Amino acid sequence: QSALTQPPSASGSPGQSVTISCTGSSSDVGGYNYVSWYQQHPGKAPKLMIYEVSKRPSGVPDRFSGSKSGDTASLTVSGLQAEDEADYYCSSYADGNVYVFGTGTQVTVL
Amino acid sequence: EVQLVESGGGAVQPGGSLRLSCEASGFTLSNSWMSWVRQAPGKGLEWVANMQPDGSEKYLESVKGRFTMSRDTAKSSVYLQMNSLRTDDTALYYCVRRAYTAFYTWGQGTMVTVSS
C-alpha cells in the first residue's frame, strides 16, 4: 500500500486560509468516506482534527474543515492562527482492512 | 479520561526482539478498536497493526510474520511483540484507540532503536 500524496509544505498569513490536498486512489480515498486528518506539533503526539472526511471531534475549532472529491481529499484551515503551525497528515481506510497515511504537510504561518 | 501509556521501547540489535506494552484507562478495552502506528525519526506516520473487538488482527505487509499484536483485557493492556527486528523498524511507536475508523486517541509513544 503506497502512502497518500500530500504537498510537502503550505503557508499563509494570520487570518488567511490554507488548503492541503491528499491524493490516493479508488482503493483508499476514492473508495471510502473514511478519510481523517491529524495535526502534529514538534515533539508531540498527533491529534485527530477531522474524521469521516468532514466531521470534527469535540473541541476542534470550526476553522478546520474537510472535503473529498474523487480520489483527493482536502483539509482547509481558515482564519490561520500562530498555533496552527504544525505538520498535518491525512489517513484513509483502504482495501483489505488496512490503513494508509499521507506523506505529511508542514504548515507555516507567515 | 481516556489515556494510553506505552512502555517497553529501547535499543536492540538487528534480528532481536522487543515487546511493547500499552496500558489503557478510561474505556473498556474489550469493546475497542486498537492500533499501533509508528513514526521513524524525521519521517511521517505509518500504520503498523490493528486489533478489532473480536480479537482479529491486521498487519502492515512489511511486518507480517514478524510482529504480533495481542491484548489482555484483565490488565487493560495491548501489546506488540516484535521479532526479527530490522534497522528500518527504528521508530517511535504509538498506541492508538480507534473510533469512527479514525485514530482517535493517541499515547505519547515509546521509542524503538534497531542498530548494531
Q: Which residues of A touch B95 (CB under 8 A)?
A: none
Q: Which residues of B touch A73 (CB under 8 A)?
A: none
Residue A98 Cα, gap to closest chain B Cα (Å)? 7
Burial of B61 (0-12, 13-18, 19+ CB in 10 A): exposed
Question: A59: which 3 cell numbers?
Answer: 473541541
Q: Which of B100, B83, B48, B20 is nearest to A48 (CA)?
A: B100
- Among A47, A98, A104, the residue with its CB nearest the CB of B47 is A98
Residue A82 pLDDT grade (very low, low, confident, very high; cuts 50, 70, 90): very high
- Least confident range from A83-87, A106-110, B98-102: namely B98-102
SS3 content of chain A, % helix, strand, coil (to 5): 5, 50, 45
Burial of B83 (0-12, 13-18, 19+ CB in 10 A): middle
Cα B100 from Cα B60, distance rounded (Å): 20
pLDDT beyond 80 at A1: no
B7-35: b (≥16 Cβ within 10 Å) or e: ebbeebeeeeebebbbbbeebebeebbbb
> What is the β-pairing status of strands B91-99 and B67-72?
unpaired
- Among A55, A93, A104, the residue with its CB nearest the CB of B44 is A104
Q: Which of A41, A43, A61, A47 is nearest to A91 (CA)?
A: A47
Chain A interface, mutation test: which of B39, B101, B105, B108, most A Cβ atoms within 10 Å? Answer: B101
Percent of chain A with pLDDT over 90: 96
CA B74 to chain CA mean position, Å: 18
Question: In this structure, what are the phi and psi dihedrals at residue B2, rounded to the nearest 5 degrees?
Answer: -75, 130
Q: Which residues of A touch B35 (CB under 8 A)?
A: 99
Render pLDDT for B34-74 as a digit per residue (tens, 0 to 9).
999 999 999 999 999 999 999 899 999 999 999 999 999 99
Q: What is the CA radius of gyration of chain B?
A: 13
Q: Which residues of A touch B37 (CB under 8 A)?
A: 101
Cα A96 from Cα A98, distance rounded (Å): 6
Residue A85 Cα, gap to closest chain B Cα (Å)? 16
Mark residue A97 as left, alpha or beta (left: phi above 0; alpha: psi -120 to 50; beta: remaining): left
Percent of chain B with pLDDT over 90: 97
Cα A97 from Cα B98, distance rounded (Å): 13
- Among A1, A34, A45, the residue with its CB nearest the CB of B109 is A45
Cα B109 from Cα B91, distance rounded (Å): 10
Q: Which residues of A touch B38 (CB under 8 A)?
A: none
pLDDT at B100: 86
Contact across the interface for A98 and B60, Cβ inside 8 Å:
yes
- Which amino acid appears at position B79 of this protein? Y
